[in-house]
Structure 1
């Protein structure tokens, strides 16, 4: 089987791409252990899947017409239902080394994928609430807000 590996890291404060490299290395080893051929590795580094920004790697993945997709975890590939529906439209299976196989060729598999994605969306929204609360607490305490490399506030 030929697979296209997709890796993503939401925040890379140092810009060293070590997180996406770790994911890619694990995915390559996973594919090799199964006798799969890696067609291509596509990465989105330092890009959130929930921010609404275009993920160039994700767009390239969809356009590449993969035979199958391999990712480190499904939440690296999809966090929103609209993104899942675009993957479903590819009519390919998704293999996640830390979340299992999503068989998108069956109604049950698509239902499972939609459920998993709903929980990923939920976790993304909950994380945002925790971050906002932490930022508000820091502001009330006079602590500089550190959202990235440079503090401000």
Structure 2
């Protein structure tokens, strides 16, 4: 599981809730959250979900919506944030990892771009993380931009 997602979940939630992973890939984060008592699922191209278009997912609204390393693939990047917002419960959190603009391997985003896309959220924050990518054929450092935001309680 993404260790930073785990850290965020452990710090933010006192008990398991429900989640959706936008861009779930191998489903390892999904399986790890389920193993810790959370209920939810992941979507991506393999499940027939185009994250460039708006979606309301079954089982929602969710306590947690997250997306790891998907944003740079999307044509309509703002739509990921809109979909996250529309699928969250009031007071629910969106967690996103993407690549920072200074990453040497995948040119990503700067903090101001991400904060702008989080404009509907409150309690937003970002941080930069340097992370060694140990996957086969990778073996290099990445500069990761983490961002979180909470859906306001209406």
TM-score (ref. length: structure 2): 0.37
Which has the greater radius of gyration?
A: 1
Flag the structure with higher helix content: 1
Flag the structure with higher strand content: 2
Q: Higher relative CO (CA 8 A, sep ≥ 6), structure 1 or 2?
A: 1
